Amino acid sequence: MRAALLMDPALVPFVFTPGAQERLGELLDIDIADAATSLAGIPAPSGIELLIVGWGAKIDPADLDAFPALRAVVHWSGGNGALDGPAAARGIPISTARAANAIPVAEFSLAMITLAAKDAFWASRTYSAEQRFIDREAELPRTGTYGAVVGIVGASTIGRLVMQKLQGTDLRVLLYDPYASAADAEALGAELVGDPGALAARSDLLSIHAPEMPSTIGMVSAEVLAALPDGATVINTARGALIDQDALVDELQRGRLRAVLDVTEPDPLPAGHPLYALPNVFLTPHLAGSMGNELHRLGEVALAEVERFVAGEPFAHPAP
């Protein structure tokens, strides 16, 4: 079966271990060294039956016409909007590593929720700057995870995994998602709240997990931020555009809120942006998603899907 890699060639060794590359070569007629970012770099595309796609792929919907023999698409990433819609319309099965990529984001989010609830970021800064005894009960009276309320915005793949990981903790979980039902929320150990402002008003921590689309841009508005209690923390591991960032900066500059931001708008921020220097902001350079050795997980998931397809079996992780 002829196959091609449509991805940034520099990422190949980070995603596919030598063993995974060898196994792909056993299963497919594929040249790993010929990974390409676009149609122009794929030799004889008319004979390609399987595309393995990941970060760096640049493709237009019309490019699918160049692959008349295409039988399946395997993503080691979450997907490709320009490719997946036209492929699905032609009945071409698509596999996605979205669930695998959700794992490190959920792990990171859970860590940020826990550390923010414990005031770890802010206590550390005070301790380092003032180098003195910290009277925890007097100075950090609201600190702790026992009974603290986490508002989850978005029952996405990542949002659901975060809620699953929060089960069994003493944190109380609320959920806002216009497409989720009360039964969905209950199964995830959460209480469904029908309005983002009402969710914010009851939350000590607001963790954002919605996808970026026209309807979600700016959904954490100035009004939602204003509804948060004094001292609440906004945690964003989704996309920066989901927050009214100017309104957030205003709240942070006034010292009313705190923020843990792994994403911003734009991403990265321009030099000199106030979010870099505000003492009540913990800013990271988009670390939550798969990186380093976590990329091997994505490669292993994609390899397993290739093995299933070659064996005539359905994908374990079909795109929704």
If you write DSSP's letter for every residue of 256-310 in order, what string do you get? S-EEEES--SSSSPPTT-GGGT-TTEEE-SS-SSS-TTHHHHHHHHHHHHHHHHH
At a CB cut-off of 8 Å and minimum separation 6, what does 220 contact?
Answer: 153, 196, 206, 208, 234, 242, 243, 244, 248
Q: Is 320 domain-assigned?
A: no
Q: How confident is the model at residue 269, as a pLDDT?
A: 98
Q: Report pLDDT for 267.
A: 96
pTM of the model: 0.94
The reply to whether 316 falls in a domain is no
Amino acid at 23: R
Domain hosting 47: range is: 3-95+292-310
Our count of domains for the chain comes to 2
Please indicate, yes or no, if residue 25 is contained in any of the structural domains: yes
Residue 75 maps to which CATH number? 3.40.50.720
Q: Quick one: pLDDT at residue 280?
A: 97
Q: Which residues of the chain have pLDDT under 50?
A: none
Are 256 and 297 in the same domain? no
Output the pLDDT for position 320: 83
pLDDT digit string, tens, across residues 272-304: 999 999 999 999 999 999 999 999 999 999 999
On whether both 77 and 222 belong to a single domain, the answer is no
Based on the domain organization, do 225 and 116 belong to the same domain? yes
Q: Are residues 236 and 106 in the same domain?
A: yes
Could you give the CA distance from residue 176 to residue 166 in angstroms, rounded to a whole number? 16
